[in-house]
Every structure is written in structure tokens, then in C-alpha cells.
Amino acid sequence: MKARTRQKLNLLLYPVGLTVHRLTFGAVSISTFLSKHADPVDHRHVDQLFQEKGKEAAFDYLNALHLQYPQNPHIWNKQGLYGTRQETYEEALHHLNEALRLDPYCDPALNNKSWALYGQGRYQEALDVIEYALHLDPRDDIKLTNKGNALLQLYRYEEAIQTYEEALALDPTNPHACYGLGMTWKSIRRYADAAKAFETYTTNVPSDIDGWIQLAECRRKQQEYEQELKACLSILELEPNHYGATFHAGEAYLALEWWEKSREHYAAAIAQYPEDAIFHYSLGRSCAQLGDSHAALQSLKQAYRLDHTALISAAEDSGFQPLHHNPLFQDLILLDVAFEENSSPIYH
């Protein structure tokens, strides 16, 4: 029960896999020095239109510019950028390809095309485009970050690390490169290095919950429970009802043997998400350590209702040691064994 249900719970708090942070690939290079076309777009104005009135209003402005400057790639690029932001990638690629038809050296369009391809999961194509852009302008930390992201998704970890570090050498405050570097270290289970990168990221972007989530997981993997707790509490400052962070704060308190605080956080997690067996199981463990046998047994029964492996797990769990000689606990184990022997296969 513990391994399977904990894996389920980790999905609630710690995203598994290599999905790169929503902010990471969207950084936009504004260099136009290679382009032969002046940029007529009032970016501040059109961005305000996009944010306040939506894409249609922004496109009305840009389409009017097309009439004035019919061969200008920067207008097409801006439309492509908004498409990538809204994840309408086919539409975005149409606009970006038109920008690059007019000017193959349009630096923002190359960067944004790579972003759109990345958004479609076409990572090798995204890498090819961003490498071409870097060939034209090799000292651009934004493009290096985007190259690192594509390499990460292609599982080319050593190259990704090198590329992110090159980006950070150009701009040590680049949060996207910090995040990508942390994700890469985490992917190869170098949790101490990953934690260092996520520490830098959360220092630069303290309002982003996802950075704290990644940091908390790395700290837990290193059994650095005080640091994990600090990260979880930072999440809860930003989102007080984040039940995954509430639960893992309880786990950190339990590892630190702060039994009452762990019970408090497990109970809060149950109040927010009552149908997860591991929440009740962990609350029972805290109650057992506090000597509250009745509450511990009640929590175990609730965990068992949700997951029939709970009692066998508790019998093997040192956290429930205070209950192991309790007659009521032993009766529950016997009932569980009888149930397993007589139940239909659907329960296995």
C-alpha cells in the first residue's frame, strides 16, 4: 500500500516526468540586428490590447499594420507569438513561417518558431531551428535556454546541462535556465545539484509554486527534512489550500518527530481531500506516535476502506509500533487476512 499510494500522492505535489515549466520556453529574444526590416510594431500597445481585450483586438491592430507594411516579418512574428502563448501552434507556425519567408534572419521569429514546434512535441525540429538561430547569434542566453529545453526533452542530459550553464554564464539571473538546469539534474537523480538550481530559481521567482514544489521534492530525496518543510511552507504561503504541500509538510514534521504538527497537517490534508488512503494512513501513524490508540485505529480503518493493503502495511511499519501489541489492532489484522482469503479476485 505504501509504495503504490505514496507514488499516487507524489503526483499531486511533485509533477513526474520531463514537462518543462510553463514559463521556460516562452522567453522571447528581441534582437533584430540581423534582420533587414525595421520593426513597426508598438509592442507595449499591442501587448496591452492582447492582455485587456484579447487576441482579436490585438490582431485587428496587427492586420492594420499589414496594410501599411505588407512585407514586414515582424508583424507576422507578433501574431505567431500570440498563437504560441495561446497554444494554437498550427496557427502560430503559419504566421511564423510567413515571417521567415519574408526574412530568414528574423531573430524573434526563429526563436518563436522553435517554441511553437516544442509546444507540439516536435523537439528535434525545435532544436534544429534554435541551433540555426544560435548559429546567427551564438551569445544569446534566451536561445541557449530554449536549446537546453529541447535537449532535455530529447534525453540528451549532458548536452542540456552544458547548454544551460552556458546560458547562465551569460546571464546568471536567467530564471528559465535555472529551472531547466534543475529539471535536468533531477532527471538524472542528481538531487543535490538540482536543489541548488531550484534554490536559485525560487530566490529569483519566489512567487512561482512550481519551483518550490521541485525544491521540496529534491530536499526530500536527500532526506533534508527541515529544508523540505521550509519549501512546503513557502508553497502554503502562496496557496494555503494546496493539499499536496499540506500533506508533505506533515511528512516532514513526522520525519523530524514533531508528532503534533504532523497530525495537524495530515488532518488538514484530509479536510481538503478526504478520499486518499495515504492521508488517513499517515494520520494514523502520527496518532500512534502520540499514544492516541483510538484515533490511530480509526484512521487505519478509514485508510483500509479506501485501500485494502493499509492494514498489512501498518503491521510492517515501525511508525505503528505502539499499536502492534494492541488487541484491537491484532483483531483488525486477522479480519483483513480472512477477508483477503475469501474475497473475489476483483479486490486483489
Contact (Cβ atoms closer than 8 angstroms) between residue 80 and residue 26:
no
CA dihedral (21, 23, 26, 32) positive or negative: negative
Grade residue 84 by pLDDT with cuts at 50, 70 and 90.
Answer: very high
Of the candidate ranges 34-43, 208-217, 225-234, 248-257, the one whose mean pLDDT is the lowest: 34-43
- Write down the pLDDT at residue 335: 66
Higher pLDDT, 17 or 312: 312
Grade residue 345 by pLDDT with cuts at 50, 70 and 90.
Answer: very low
Grade residue 348 by pLDDT with cuts at 50, 70 and 90.
Answer: very low
Average pLDDT on 192-200 reads: 98
Left, alpha or beta for 223 (phi > 0: left; psi -120 to 50: alpha)?
left
- Other CB atoms within 10 A of residue 192 CB: 12
Average pLDDT on 210-215 reads: 98
Contact (Cβ atoms closer than 8 angstroms) between residue 92 and residue 83:
yes
pLDDT tens, position by position, 88-122: 999 999 999 999 999 999 999 999 999 999 999 99
- Write down the pLDDT at residue 301: 92
Is the predicted pLDDT of residue 276 greater than 50, yes or no? yes
Find the angle CA(161)-CA(167)-CA(169) to the nearest 5 degrees: 100
1-20+241-348 under CATH 1.25.40.10, yes or no: yes
Is the predicted pLDDT of residue 11 greater than 90, yes or no? no
- Write down the pLDDT at residue 34: 52
Of the candidate ranges 52-61, 125-134, 188-197, 329-338, the one whose mean pLDDT is the lowest: 329-338
Is the predicted pLDDT of residue 20 greater than 80, yes or no? no
- Write down the pLDDT at residue 171: 96
- Other CB atoms within 10 A of residue 32 CB: 18
- Write down the pLDDT at residue 259: 96
Is the predicted pLDDT of residue 202 greater than 50, yes or no? yes
- Write down the pLDDT at residue 337: 53
Distance from C-alpha of 39 to C-alpha of 32, rounded to nearest angstrom:
8
3-state secondary structure at position 99: helix
Q: What percent of the chain has pLDDT over 70?
A: 86
As separate numbers, helices (DSSP H) first and strands (DSSP E) second, the chain gives 19, 0
Is the predicted pLDDT of residue 62 greater than 90, yes or no? yes
Please name which of 131, 157, 129 lies closest in space to residue 144, comparing C-alpha atoms: 131
Of the candidate ranges 7-16, 133-142, 234-243, the one whose mean pLDDT is the lowest: 7-16
Grade residue 332 by pLDDT with cuts at 50, 70 and 90.
Answer: confident
Q: Which residue type occupies 146?
A: N
Contact (Cβ atoms closer than 8 angstroms) between residue 22 and residue 47:
no
Contact (Cβ atoms closer than 8 angstroms) between residue 34 and residue 104:
no
CA distances from 50 to 26, 57, 83, 85, 320 (A): 16, 7, 11, 11, 57
Contact (Cβ atoms closer than 8 angstroms) between residue 225 and residue 256:
yes
Is the predicted pLDDT of residue 4 greater than 50, yes or no? no
pLDDT averaged over every residue in the chain? 88
Please name which of 116, 138, 126 lies closest in space to residue 31, comparing C-alpha atoms: 138
pTM of the entire predicted model: 0.82
Is the predicted pLDDT of residue 141 greater than 80, yes or no? yes
Q: What are phi and psi of 189, to 5 degrees?
A: 65, 30
